[in-house]
Amino acid sequence: MAFRRDFAVFCVVLCVDIFFHRQMKVEDANMKAVFLDRDGTINVDYHFVHRVEDFEYVPGAIEGLRFLQNLGYVPVIVTNQSGIARGFFREKDFEELTKWMVQDLKKQGIAIAGVYYCPHLPEGKVKKYRKSCDCRKPRTALFWKAASELKIDMDHSIAVGDTLRDLSICQECGVKGFLLSETEVSDLPENVTCVKNWMELMKCRKMIE
């Protein structure tokens, strides 16, 4: 697999079925992070988005990411990408879109510390990715991989996603979760708060700080 020099430090590590993409090295040994889902949280979920021309930011996402970054949270993306296993797009397509997204967010003042993704699906069409794994959410291996690689303080971190599986890490440690949902969700885990959108999340400053 080839990587272009203009993509800062961008590498792939294969370990216990975990695919890890990191844009830059983070020196702070005890940093707090915001774990972010991608589709439906950062970009509008048009189902298996893999082209730049189909990528559209969720309203308020850019402002919300800046808000959290200004509070000291380092953005880390954790995303399921079963479209790869389904054969809808190639891993290379995901990587190219990721490169564009990270650079576009950087232009808007948002520095993504890492992008971790799972390409697997037990019933996937592509044999290489047809497997049960520990990295597909709601399993939490990708979160813990990020915590280890980036030296994240999990008890002072948060997670934002549009489904409860995006917040599964909140049931294993002190990470606070924020569920983006226009409809009310019952039986939420104790440390998960439901907000309608990014704008409402930004009103929860006291809960986030």
6 is catalytic: no
Pick the catalytic residue from 37, 54, 162, 187. 37
Give the residue from 44, 35, 57, 18 showing the smallest Cα distance to 145. Answer: 18
Top-confidence residue, 86 or 11: 86
pLDDT band at 10 (very low <50, low <70, confident <90, very high): very low
Determine the pLDDT at residue 21: 39
Decide: 181 and 37 in contact? Cβ < 8 Å. no
CATH hierarchy code of domain 14-158: 3.40.50.1000
Among 6, 17, 28, 39, the active-site one is 39
The tens digit of pLDDT for each residue in 87-127 reads 999 999 999 999 999 999 999 999 999 999 999 999 999 99
| Phi, psi (degrees; rounded to nearest 5) at 34 | -115, 115
Measured CA to CA, the distance from residue 61 to residue 4 in angstroms comes to: 28
Indicate the pLDDT class of residue 30, thresholds 50, 70 and 90: confident
Question: Is the confidence at residue 22, as pLDDT, over 60?
Answer: no
Kindly indicate the confidence band of residue 185, based on its pLDDT and cuts at 50, 70 and 90. confident
Q: Is 39 a catalytic residue?
A: yes
Provide the residue ranges of all domains of the chain, joining segments of one domain with +: 14-158
Angle CA(31)–CA(37)–CA(43) in degrees, nearest 5? Answer: 120
The pLDDT value recorded for residue 8 is 33
Continuous segment of H or E residues that includes residue 115: strand 114-118
Please provide the distance, in angstroms rounded to a whole number, between the alpha carbons at the two ends of the chain: 40
CA-closest candidate to residue 169, choices 146, 149, 139, 145: 139
